[in-house]
Amino acid sequence: MTATPTRIVRVDGNRAIPEDWYPGTVPDNAQIDATAYVGSSYSFQRCRSELPIGVEIGRGASLCDATSLDIGARGVVRLGEYALVNGARIICDTEIEIGDYSLVSWDVVLMDTYRVPFDPDERGRALVDGTFGANPARPIRIGRNAWIGFGACVLPGATIGDGSIVAARSVVAAGVPPYVVVAGNPARIIREQIRAR
> Which tens digit of pLDDT belongs to each residue from 21-36?
999 999 999 999 999 9
Q: Count up the domains in the chain and report the number.
A: 1
Which CATH number covers residue 108? 2.160.10.10
Nearest Cα residue to 192 out of 173, 174, 165: 165
3 confidence band (pLDDT: 50, 70, 90): low
Contacts of 34 (CB under 8 A, 6+ apart): 5, 6, 7
Query: What is the Cα–Cα distance from 65 to 86, expressed in whole angstroms?
Result: 7
Q: Flag whether 89 is in a domain.
A: yes
* 12 found inside a domain: no
Which amino acid is it at 139? Answer: P
Q: Give the global pTM.
A: 0.90
* Least-confidence region, from 8-12, 30-34, 71-75, 179-183: 8-12
pLDDT, the chain, mean:
91
- 135 pLDDT tier (thresholds 50, 70, 90): confident
Q: Does residue 39 form part of some domain?
A: no
Residue 1 lies in a domain: no
Q: What is the pLDDT of residue 196?
A: 64
Structural domain boundaries enclosing 118? 58-192
Yes or no: say if 18 and 10 are a contact pair by the CB < 8 Å rule.
no
More confident residue, 115 or 172: 172
Express each pLDDT in 24-79 by its tens digit. 999 999 999 999 999 999 999 999 999 999 999 999 999 998 999 999 999 999 99
Asked whether residue 25 is assigned to any structural domain, the reply reads no
Which pLDDT value is given to residue 106?
Answer: 96
In this prediction, residue 134 carries a pLDDT of 62
* Whether the Cβ atoms of residue 82 and residue 61 lie closer than 8 Å to each other: yes
pLDDT of amino acid 133: 58
Find, among 119, 95, 108, the residue nearest to 165 by Cα.
108
pLDDT at 160 over 80: yes
Residue 45 lies in a domain: no
Is 37 inside any structural domain? no
Nearest-angstrom CA–CA distance, 7 and 15: 10
What is the reported pLDDT for 6? 77
d(CA 100, CA 110): 17
pLDDT of 185 above 70: yes
More confident residue, 120 or 159: 159
Higher-confidence residue: 71 or 125? 71
Position 48 in a domain: no
